[in-house]
Structure 1
Amino acid sequence: MSMLTPPGMGGKYRITGDKFPRMRRPRHRHRIVLAALAAVVALGLAGWGTLQLIDVFSGDGKKNTAVGPKPACKPSTAPAKALPKPGQITVNVYNATPRGGLAKTTADELKKRGFVIGKVGNAPATYDKKVPGAGLLLGAPTASDGPLTVLGTQLKGATPKTDTRKTPDVDLIIGTAFKTLNVQEDADQALAVLAKPAPTPSC
């Protein structure tokens, strides 16, 4: 009888042999699965990093990181503006100040500069002694971008304004702040700038 057989037990309950059953720990399969997943992720990251390095050194990346001098901006030449010549502009000169003789002397100077002189005298009651600035330039709406612009180069600080007239002539109403017309050299230079604006850079 084996030593493992309890007393009084025999027959089919008798334990024989010298080998005993051993208890094994259950295998942790989830650890194996996690390890496999970690290996896959590591391989994926390694492959992605390799592709990035290839793009950087081969220059095939979408982003252009090259640093170099910027292309020079080319000046764009604006077309010359068609402005009327002083000889094509008829100017009426009115004096809205208490000082006498300003309309006559101003008209004479404008005539020397090539303008055609129309009426010369005191300003109408609407503007007499009511023009605080250097002067007021009056003309039809169609004259705002032509004759009034050219006449404005002759008197600094003059205010352009349109009225309801249908005639092509324009008015120069001398205001209380008037001293003298611009120097002819400055007026000619301002007129040249208007006729041919300076080129602006375009990139």
Structure 2
Amino acid sequence: MGGKYRITGNKYPRMRRARPRGKLVVLVVASVTVLGVGGWGTLQLIDVFTGGGGKASAAGTGKDCVPKTKAEASPSPSAKALPEPRTITVNVLNATTRSGLAKKTADELKKRGFKIGDVGNASKEYDKKVKGAGVLLGPDSALDTSLPVLGTQLPGAERRTEAVRKGTAVDLVIGDAFKGLARQADADRALTRMAEPEPAPSSKKNC
């Protein structure tokens, strides 16, 4: 070249087009966004398959969602303290024509922890008039206390109360269908279920 602008030397500058920087920035931002969304989705899948969803739910409510243990669960409002067999006095009365039933049954109840009162024949009101396995008889106060405990020993017995009855002792009147007391293991399980009733269902939603 000549004139005012002259190039000297044996190296010539290369002329390049200016790259559009705006498009490059957009591509970089889009790539970062895609990678971020993909990573977040992967974490969500990991939470689902590893049980981490509970934490996410708890974070959403602002409270830790911890299941209650049986001891912390609310007890049933109908649960009452039941007396132990050793505090219950039982009169064992035979209303059948079979001899020896009262004594045999009283001895078995004593082995199971009950206190034994009178043992003998039933009164005229019940003698030879009890067709079922038996009748459990006691004062009104025994309806939800002593009678249910004694009832675990003879599940098929009818339960009755007398308003004018004196004392706290209860009667076991043996009937015609009596074949023996319940197996001790079964009676013990029934006592345990009554002493430890299932907790009342909570109104709160489960985690």
Structure 1 residues not aligned, in runs of 5+ = 1-70
Other-structure match for 2:84: 85
Q: What CA distance in whole angstroms lies between the structure 1 residues aligned with 2:104 and 2:161?
A: 25
Other-structure match for 2:183: 183
Encode CA deviations 1:162-201: one digit per residue, 9 max, x unaligned: 0121211000000101001001111011011111111242
2:142 matches 1:131 = no
Q: What CA distance in whole angstroms lies between the structure 2 residues aligned with 1:138 and 1:170?
A: 6
Q: What CA distance in whole angstroms lies between the structure 2 residues aligned with 1:90 and 1:102?
A: 18
User: Does the Cα contact within 8 Å between 1:90 and 1:116 map onto a contact in 2?
Assistant: yes
For residue 87 of structure 2, what is the amino acid of its counterpart?
Q
Q: What CA distance in whole angstroms lies between the structure 2 residues aligned with 1:116 and 1:198?
A: 29
For residue 159 of structure 1, what is the amino acid of its counterpart?
E
Other-structure match for 2:154: 155
Q: What CA distance in whole angstroms lies between the structure 1 residues aligned with 2:123 and 2:75?
A: 44
Across the two proteins, how many residue pairs are aligned to each other? 134
Other-structure match for 1:197: 197
Offset at 1:202? 2.6
Other-structure match for 2:145: 146
Please list, as runs of the form range in 1=range in 2, the aligned pairs for 1:1-203 lying within 5 A after superposition: 76-78=74-76, 81-163=80-162, 164-203=164-203
Q: What CA distance in whole angstroms lies between the structure 1 residues aligned with 2:172 and 2:111?
A: 16
Percent identity between matched residues is 63
For residue 75 of structure 2, what is the amino acid of its counterpart?
T
Q: What CA distance in whole angstroms lies between the structure 1 residues aligned with 2:80 and 2:193?
A: 10
